[in-house]
Amino acid sequence: MPTLGGLYTFTISMIEILSILAFVGTVIFLARRNLLKLPRFHKAEMGGWPTLDANLILLGELSLIFFIFCMNGADEVLYNNGWAHAHGVHEGEVGSYGFAISQYVGPLLFGWLANFESFGEWLLVLIERFGWWGHILTVLAFLAYLPFSKHLHILLAFPNTYFAPLKSRGEMENMPAVMDEVKMMMGLTEMSNEAPPEDELPEFGAKDVFGLSWKNILDAYTCTECGRCTSVCPANETGKKLSPRKIMMDIRDRAEEVGNNIDSGEYHQHNYDDGKSLFDYISKEEIHACTTCNACVEACPVLISPLEPILKLRRYEILTESAGPSDWVPMFTSMENGGSPWTVMDARDKWATDALENDK
């Protein structure tokens, strides 16, 4: 590339150096998944397609590196032997492109073909073209495959991080209907005289993906399936069924199912009902196991909050269905009757009242 001169050589050299580093990293990632078998890569939710998907991407990266060095390495040998192939190289002109890696790797791998004269030149050109087309076709195949893979996070991680809430990660979202009721009970607001319509029953939390926010759905599609959230989850570490990564994967799978059904024309978005919900993907045992410790939220590298949909599912079960674990019922009853989770008959602020009277 005489037009670009040293800039072209520098750019391709940097690509080759990065390719070697990518090769080392990819081999390490493959070893961690398939030889060392890190526990977080071998949870129940990672069986089948998720593991195959990850390995396909890693093998695709190796093929890209292979094609790059086939192309550059064969080009280097052609130039070394004065065979005009690249644009701007004249017949009989001998030299070297001077690329950081292929100037050594090219002769090492393909230098022996120079001994076969015309046949060797033809074969080197074939290898160079094979590398060029293989590289570009692999890139195009990856772009086409991206929407069907967990690697969609390559595109979605940036907007997901940008739209991450600025509030404290430990802060839970209030439900306006419940908050208004509590304020009225405490006398902070006046009670409304308008009675709610009898045919409209309030619905709290989320039963399906329609009850989740757009950010929750974006979180699900941004999930890298790295498993850091699950590896730090105390419930999962103690053998309980909960896996925050599985929660996000299930939300994504359900959103895919709903979207495909709507696209088929069989269901309409405004009155969608296929007889299924998120609870067909996520068991109640899983959402009951969450301690809301926020460890999964802190561990996520792309600022996903698995805690939010877990709370919304749990709120639907408890507040809308009036269900929940039997062990929780005494706590709910105590909070409703005495404003405290402990089963005591005294008012919650009795200790403060007694302290004031004693001071007098």
- Go through the domains of the chain in sequence order and give each one's CATH number: 6-148 (no CATH), 160-166+202-321 (1.10.1060.10), 325-360 (no CATH)
Three state DSSP letters for the chain: CCCCCHHHHHHHHHHHHHHHHHHHHHHHHHHHHHCCCCHHHCCHHHCCHHHHHHHHHHHHHHHHHHHHHHHHHHHHHHHHCCCCCCCCCCCCCCCCCCCCCHHHHHHHHHHHHHHHHHHHHHHHHHHHHHHHHHHHHHHHHHHHHHHHCHHHHHHHHHHHHHCCCCCCCCCCCCCHHHHHHHHHHCCCCCCCCCCCCCCCCCCCCCCCHHHCCHHHHHHHHHCCCCCHHHHHCHHHHCCCCCCHHHHHHHHHHHHHHHHHHHHCCCCCHHHCCCCCCHHHCCCHHHHHHCCCCCHHHHHCCCCCCCHHHHHHHHHHHHHHCCCCCHHHHHHHHHHHHHCCCCCCCCCCCHHHHHHHHHHC
pLDDT above 70 (res 197): no
Measured distance CA(184)–CA(182) in Å, rounded: 5
pLDDT above 70 (res 160): yes
pLDDT in tens, 97-129: 678 899 899 889 888 888 887 778 889 989 999
**pLDDT-based confidence at residue 336 (cuts at 50, 70, 90):** confident
Mean pLDDT (whole number) for 333-339: 75
pLDDT above 70 (res 213): yes
Measured distance CA(247)–CA(229) in Å, rounded: 11
Q: Which of the residue ranges 221-230, 272-281, 303-312, 318-327 would you say has the lowest mean pLDDT?
A: 318-327
Name the residue with higher pLDDT: 324 or 225.
225
**pLDDT-based confidence at residue 180 (cuts at 50, 70, 90):** confident
pLDDT at site 121 = 84
pLDDT above 80 (res 328): yes
**pLDDT-based confidence at residue 230 (cuts at 50, 70, 90):** very high
pLDDT at site 3 = 60
Mean pLDDT (whole number) for 274-282: 94
pLDDT at site 201 = 64
pLDDT at site 353 = 80
Distances 323 to 11, 288, 317, 319 between C-alpha atoms, Å: 63, 12, 6, 8
Measured distance CA(306)–CA(247) in Å, rounded: 7
Structure tokens at 204: 């709290």
How much is the mean pLDDT over the chain? 86
Burial of residue 233, with CB atoms counted within 10 A of its CB: 0-12 exposed, 13-18 middle, 19 or more buried: buried
Burial of residue 110, with CB atoms counted within 10 A of its CB: 0-12 exposed, 13-18 middle, 19 or more buried: buried
pTM of the predicted model over 0.85: no
